[in-house]
Structure 1
Amino acid sequence: MYRLGIDSGGTFTDFVLAGDGDVSVYKTPSTPDDPAQAVKDGLALVADDLDTDVPGLLADIDIVIHGTTVATNALIEHTGAKVGLLCTEGHEDSLEIRLGHKEDGHRYDMTYPMAEMLVPRHLRVPVGGRVLSDGSEHAPLDEADVYDAVERLREADVDAVAVSLVWSFENPSHEERVREILAEELPGVHTSFSVDVLPQVREYTRTSTTVVNAYVKPTLDRYVERVEGYLQENGFEGQTRYIQANGGITSSEGLRERPAYAINSGPAGGPAAGRHLGAKFGSEDVITVDMGGTSFDVSLTKDGSTEIRKDFDLMRYRMGLPMLQVETIGAGGGSVASLDRGVLTVGPESAGADPGPACYDRGGTKPTTTDALVVLGYLNQEELLGGRMKIDADASRRAIEGHVAADSQLDVESAAAGILEIVNKNMVDGIRQVSIEKGHDPRDFAMVVGGGAGPAHATGLADELGIGRVLVPKTSSVLCAYGEVVSNYKHNRLASYPSPVEAIDPADLEARFAELEAEGVGQLRAEGIDEADISLQRVFEMRYRNQIKECEVTRPATEITDEWLSELREAFDERHEELYTYAEPETGVDLINVESVAIGRVDPPDISGGLPTGDDAETARVATREAYFEETDGFVETPVYDGSAIPVDVDVEGPAVVEEDTTTIVVNPGWSARLDDSGVYELTR
């Protein structure tokens, strides 16, 4: 039986079919106007390659794991639902007040426009009644207001309703009553409640997240119904799962309950792949990079856990749900190089897939990163993708000559080397954002490289950062889809627990976690996870007294005692010093929020074996060509190897170029590459 990973991207939808001892990679053009069609097209492509039909293919698959961009696209393109908001009277404008300032980076820019409101002012309806911060009821819910709001929203023909009442996470009774009324009065309308989506302190963040959840919910529901309906029509009897922004997979029921977890979930498969591959090579500390045609994604995993972020602006909308910290910058194979008042820049403008880099011969005339790689001899001068894409190397030279070299008084090769240096610097800056700026030394990490363009830059990036080990899987061009195949289940349950650490009652906090953990474990069991494969983590958001921002401390789920709380306090001091270079052990510490993380372990398929064997890489050598390396002060005759013929456990010494069907690996001087029987190249100094 196989596992099928499906990752929907802006240009291509990727498929990874993995079974014991075998993994196959497929790509089909994405269909933005009808995203589900790309899934159908891809299944037909895979079936045809295996000489069967779609029902025959699905009969041999026991689980499909899907990463979809439909929720993200709905938010980016503002094509989500027509949403109404029920909120506590006097709080109708919290979405626009936005805590009194603009997003980070634009706080003092008076010309920066307001974000488009997902709920227009006339659909933000106040409701009387008030719960206080201690959970007591100051004024009962005004049900007449709720029924009036229902009439207004019914007349407006809304698709979804978000409900966020002040301090509801301390006492959910008012939201629960609103839930009952909406179920009776608006049975066909999608609803989202803050007590379900984000039951934590901070009213603006909670309201914004609940609104976003409501905004994308109908779109995601329709998409899931179409995909799963197609699978069922073709006889699929296995499980369908979805990757979430927290890096774990869940059932369709779990995702449809909290569709906001689907937003920005596309890159989340990358860190899962990085964590899995790093563990195979004995490293729980990995930096995962994924360079595609338009962007460069980077994340950091420490001790087997990827960095998480909360309470941040995503596409200009505040989100409070835990999401993997995947930094994205405009540095891809299609990033355009240009001169800005005599200064060479690369990106964020991209040539994309159409027209694409000049060498694609699809009408593109601007020089890109890919064109620089062609001129420098890293990429095949005639074809890519195993011969399926022809390359015009002369077009790359003309583009760089006409747009960069001529005006900078450089020769074409020097201009291309400058483009490479700048794009590498941009990517190094992105890596530093998730490593050095978070208190981590990148030299302590292995680097896992994905994307069709990433492996050509891998050893150059590693040299810049002092990283000594780089892992490049043969599936690097579909890294996120591969990550979906090896991802674990993951469910986050959130709550507020404001208290000075020294005043916490251990039994009370333990009981609160027991409630959260029961929810997460219950969902895992419903998804078919055995008790032996379930593990729990506990996350504590803490801060020094009178600070504004918290930092997180993650601990295993062990019994909370007074001694344990003292250790938690010490762990917070250590984490604060790691992040900010100082700690204040004499200052009081407050616990603000808690989170339970329930993880269901999945046994990944064993894909080792089936690769060529032998004693000499020369059997895979197919050519030599001139390639540029800074270490050699220019061009040097460089051997080129056919990746499909390279034997396992044989060293390929740099400088060298390894050509795989969907990517090219550049081995810089001073590096060597060795292919593992799992299909992963280990590059070391």
Structure 2
Amino acid sequence: MALEPKAPRLRVGIDIGGTFTDLCVLEEERGDFFHLKVPTTPKELARGVMESLEAFLREDHSPDEVAFLFHATTVATNAMLEQKGANTWLVITEGYTGVYETPELGEIRMGSYDYLSYPKPRLLVPQRKTIQVPERVDFRGHIVRPLDEAEARRRLSRLRDEGVEAVAVCLLFSFMNPEHERRVGEMVREMAPDAYIYLSCETLPQIREYPRLATTVASAYVGPVVSRYMRRLEEALVARGLSRPLYIMQSNGGCLTSGALRRIPVQMVESGPAAGVLAAAYFAGLARRERAISFDMGGTTAKAGIIEGSPRIVPRFQAGEWLLSTPSLDIVEIGSGGGSIARIDKSGMLKVGPESAGAEPGPACYPGGGSAPTVTDADLVLGWLNPDYFLGGKIRLDRVAAERAVAVEIARPLGLDVVAAASGIVKIVNSQMVEALRLVTVARGEDPRQYVLVAFGGAGPVHAAQLAEELKIPEVIVPPLPGVASAMGLLVSDLKRDYVRTRFADLEMIAAREIQALFETMEAESRDELVREGIAREKISYERSLDLRYSIQKYELTVPVGGGALAEGDKAAWRGRFDELHEQHYGTRASDQRVEIVNYRLTAKVTLPRPRVPELPFSGEEAGAALKGRRRAYFDGWLDCPVYAHERLGCGNRLAGPAIIEQVDSTIVIQPGHRARVDRHGNVIIEVLAPIAHGLLD
């Protein structure tokens, strides 16, 4: 199967959010975009995906025109957060049942300094579903105690009658010698032939027992759920005539075939948020901004990521209460979205989120919506949203219902009028989102004033300028289609697969040819896997890196390694780069200490052509032709606010706040005192602070 399509010319991206499922289609020859939103169907997510595709195909398009089909889904994330994963069992080395119950001290989340009172993550597999097998491999990979197959088989026989759906196998030091682990996997297959089996030596062949075990367990826990979802979706796609491979977004910001991801389903946990960061990086690049913060506020959550030319990648990430050791874009996610519910807690304080009205029943202002007030209801009460133009008029919002919900649940209990209560809801949710932006910048040692904010998601452009003002971020960039930006991010992604292998060595003592040989072995294994998934061998490129540390340290820093033939002289350059990174991260270097290699990392990549975005002709600074009316909007007081139609704005148009820009997929709110302009790509750039003072002139 060739990767490059011929006659087909459409690149399709579908992103499932908590409230809406977004579809974005790129016509590759002309650079035209088609987009739409349909309500997410929580009980059967694949149905919402197919409804979006059906709506597109009804627009006089054929399934044969589709060249690439990309998808971002919350299936794996939901399975973990809602504790609705598979009936999963764990097999470990005898005597090590405490590993899973005892996270490393380094695994404690930021802000939790008291280890004794730290609420440990819930176990996805309880002790009663844990089986110990007699065997032992040491840290060098030497077999200390041979596997007792007869006893192991007797203990594993429990799996026969337990309705087991998935089994995670994680034996001590199997990343150095997987012989025992693979044999145990074969025995598990005999006892539970229908179960999904995940071996740690395949899921994460990397040092450190707790992260390796926890990540393998998470993969097993979500694996059957993910596989069932992908099977149903692929069957529906084929029935509709869409026979192209389905590419799924991973947490690392690259897509991979559904077949490959069935073997590493944990990589899908941050699928949707990763696509949004890719979109932010793409549009920041079009605006010639190297350093950007992505801000994605949808119906259920708000996500923030960091971009420095390309999105920053971290070796592990937090999914709810669980830390997973798999590469991910650096993203912080909180439960603050348009559907976040406002309430009065037991102490009489106003709280917003993390509970969400979601797609069912939805905010109070939605047709058939709930009775609890949400952020969307507050935005409507303040006049920021047009009740007759939500989703381009497809959904009519009920302002009276929004006011009633805010009045009954918030205003009356607090002795406030409805507008003051709605304003309070917005201020609280904004403060929560500002904290998320601080976590991804200040907490990482970055100054947010040196970045621009790329705002998207259905609710992101409504709130972004206020957040930027709070953090003194000088500019906000709103892409042309902010409400479907995550789906657009899928269209600018590449195919990608990460590999890691632990092998200890002194950097000075090991020969460059030995390093070269291990990388070449990893590349050969990667090439075989990807070719089996239908990817042309000549399209695959590789990026190499090493995890290095000083000999007296426990944790590592990743240093890029060049491709091709490695020479002895390269090692000094890697050592120098490691010293620089260490000083950059920790303020010091230890030039007198020896440096060790811990992990070899390989990224296999297939770079896809970037879409060509049409440029708008310059149409002058006057934006009067786009003015569609005026309405009262609340900005710490009611103001008469001009309302503009986004589709009628042209390159060079300038607007002064307060102003509101309406479009089918979102609404942009320009605060009083701010200015906005439209660039040649259709981005709306809000100037929060004087651009000259911050060196951000075009």
- TM-score, normalising length from structure 2? 0.87
Give structure 2 stretches of 5+ with no counterpart. Answer: 1-8, 692-698
Helix, strand or coil at the partner of 1:390: coil
Aligned CA RMSD, in angstroms, stands at: 3.2
> In the alignment, which residue of structure 1 is the partner of 2:695?
none
* 161 and 366 in structure 1: CA distance in 2 versus 1, 3 angstrom threshold: closer
Q: 2:124 matched to which residue of 1?
A: 118
Matched, 1:2 2:10: yes
Q: Deviations over 1:72-131 (max 9, x none)?
A: 222233333223333222223422233489953667487877655333434422222322
User: Is residue 131 of structure 1 aligned with residue 137 of structure 2?
Assistant: yes
Distance 2:471 2:686 in 1: 15
Distance 1:432 1:557 in 2: 36
Partner letter of residue 438 of structure 1? R
| Alpha-carbon separation, structure 2, partners of 1:415 and 1:456 | 18
| 1:41 match | 51
Cα deviations by residue, 1:560-600 (Å, 9 ceiling, x for unpaired): 54543333333334334443445444555444323112221
Q: Structure 2: how far apart are the matches of 1:393 and 1:7?
A: 29
Measure how far apart 1:613 and its partner are. Answer: 6.5
Quote how far apart the aligned CAs of 1:496 are. 1.1
Contact in 2 for aligned 1:655/1:671 (Cα 8 Å) = yes
Distance 1:133 1:101, change over 3 A: closer
Residue number in structure 2 paired with 1:505: 511
Shift of 1:601: 0.8
Q: Distance in 2 between matches of 1:12 and 1:151?
A: 45
Deviations 1:224-276 (A, max 9, x none): 22211222223323222111121110112211121111223221211111122
Cα distance in 1 between the residues matched to 2:44 and 2:383:
39
> 1:147 deviation in Å?
2.7
Which amino acid in structure 1 is aligned with residue 498 of structure 2? N
- Counterparts in 2 of 1:506-655, with a 5 A limit? 506-525=512-531, 534-557=540-563, 560-608=566-614, 616-629=622-635, 634-655=637-658
Q: Relative to 1, partners in 2 of residues 1:534 and 1:402: Cα closer, same or farther, differing over 3 Å?
A: same
1:673 matched residue in structure 2: 676
State the alpha-carbon separation in 2 of the partners of residues 163 and 339 from structure 1: 46
Question: Larger deviation: 482-491 or 375-384?
Answer: 375-384
User: Any conservation in 2 of the 1:612–1:645 contact (CA below 8 Å)?
Assistant: no
* Structure 1 residue 66 corresponds to structure 2 residue 74: no
For 1:159 and 1:409, how far apart are their aligned partners in 2?
Answer: 53
Give ranges in structure 1 of 5+ residues lacking alignment: none
Q: 1:657 aligns with which of 649, 657, 660?
A: 660
Which deviates more, 422-431 or 488-497?
Answer: 422-431
| Compared CA separation, residues 679 and 592, structure 1 to 2 (3 A) | same
Q: 1:150 to 1:418 in 2, by over 3 A?
A: closer
Deviation at 1:318, TM superposition (A): 4.3
Shift in Å at residue 300 of structure 1? 0.8
1:639 match: secondary structure: strand
* Change over 3 Å in CA distance of 1:493–1:309 after alignment to 2: closer
User: Do 2:618 and 2:652's aligned partners in 1 also have CA atoms closer than 8 Å?
Assistant: no
Q: Secondary structure at the match of 1:98?
A: coil
1:253 aligned to which of 247, 256, 259: 259
Partner of 1:200: 206
- CA distance in 2 between counterparts of 1:531 and 1:653 reads 53
Q: Partners of 2:113 and 2:332 in 1: how far apart?
A: 21
Alpha-carbon distance change, 322 to 624 in structure 1, aligned in 2, over 3 angstroms? same
Q: Does 1:348 align with 2:354?
A: yes
1:75 counterpart = 2:85? no
Contact 2:13 2:70 in 1 (8 A): yes
Distance 1:155 1:406 in 2: 57
Tell me the equivalent position of 1:285. Answer: 291
Q: How does 1:72-471 map to 2 (within 5 A)?
A: 72-99=77-104, 103-104=108-109, 108=114, 115-183=121-189, 186-310=192-316, 314-338=319-343, 341=347, 344-360=350-366, 362=368, 364=370, 366-380=372-386, 382-397=388-403, 399-400=405-406, 413-471=419-477
Q: 1:375 to 1:30 in 2, by over 3 A?
A: closer
Structure 1 residues 102 and 440, CA, compared in 2 at 3 Å: closer, same or farther? closer
Out of 12, 20, 27, which is 1:12 matched to? 20
SS at match of 2:684: strand
Write the distance in 1 (CA, Å) between the matches of 2:385 and 2:595: 55
> Which deviates more from structure 2 when the two are superposed, residues 113-122 or residues 508-517?
113-122
Aligned residue type for 1:667: I
* 2:214 alignment partner, SS class: helix
Residues in 2 aligned to 1:158 and 1:399: alpha-carbon distance in whole angstroms: 45
Q: Please state how far the C-alpha of 1:509 moved relative to its aligned partner.
A: 2.3
Match for 1:80: what amino acid?
G
**Offset at 1:476?**
1.4
Whole-angstrom CA distance in 1 between matches of 2:290 and 2:510: 33
Offset of residue 202 of structure 1: 0.9
Structure 1 residue identity aligned to 2:211: T
| CA distance in 2 between partners of 1:649 and 1:519 (Å) | 52
| SS class of match (1:15) | strand
Deviations 1:310-356 (A, max 9, x none): 1x553444422112222111222233445665655433343444454
Letter in 2 for 1:18: L
> CA 1:363–1:611 in 2, change beyond 3 Å: closer, same or farther?
farther
Displacement of 1:3 after TM fit? 1.4
The one-letter code matched in structure 2 to 1:636 is L
**In structure 2, what is the Cα distance between the partners aligned to 1:638 and 1:286?**
29
Partners in 1 of 2:651 and 2:322 — Cα distance? 48
Task: Give deviations 1:615-663, integer Å, cap 9, x for gaps.
Answer: 7421110112233447xxx443321101122233433333321001121
SS of the equivalent of 1:389 reads: coil
Shift of 1:210: 1.6
Could you list the per-position Cα deviations for residues 418-466 of structure 1 after superposition, in whole angstroms to 9, with x for gaps in the alignment?
A: 4433332321211121112212222332322111110012222222233
Contact 2:39 2:359 in 1 (8 A): no
Secondary structure, aligned partner of 1:195: helix
AA of the residue aligned to 1:4: V
